[in-house]
Amino acid sequence: MPDSDPNDFLPLTPLTFQVLVSLMRAPAHGYGLKRDIEERTAGRMRLGAGTLYTGLQRMERDALIVETEATGDLQEQATSRWRFFTVTDLGRLALRAEVERLEAALGDARGVLAAGESVRLG
């Protein structure tokens, strides 16, 4: 088990959150992450090189992600000397904790909104 508490990282920054989501699917390199995140968020999140790599450096330092060997169908791309990253156990736990936190927050908000609307209608 990792020695840090995943709750220490909450709330995750939007970048950390999106990078972890992407890496949960498959290891990826920097540009692959950019493409994946921009696609999934329909362009709402645009990533510059500096933002992404300083973020990756921080996440690597915090042991949320780790550099990995490219495997399988990634090997062809690996010849282009990209650094590939994958999510660590700690990263996985931090993401799960964040999702739980968000769900709780969303539940609260929905409850309040529903109550407000019924008051207005009634």
Residue ranges in contact with another protein by CB under 8 A:
29-31, 34, 43, 48-54, 56-57, 80-83
Sign of CA dihedral 34, 36, 37, 40: positive
Closest approach, Cβ 107 to another protein, in A, equals: 26
52 or 99: CB nearest another protein: 52
Nearer to another protein, 32 or 91 (CB): 32
Tell the smallest beta-carbon distance from residue 52 to another protein (Å): 7
- Token representation of residue 71: 């495997």
User: To the nearest 5 percent, what fractions of the chain are helix, strand and coil?
Assistant: 65, 10, 25
Give min distance, CB of 37 to another protein, in A. Answer: 13
> How many Cβ atoms sit within 10 Å of the Cβ of residue 67?
12
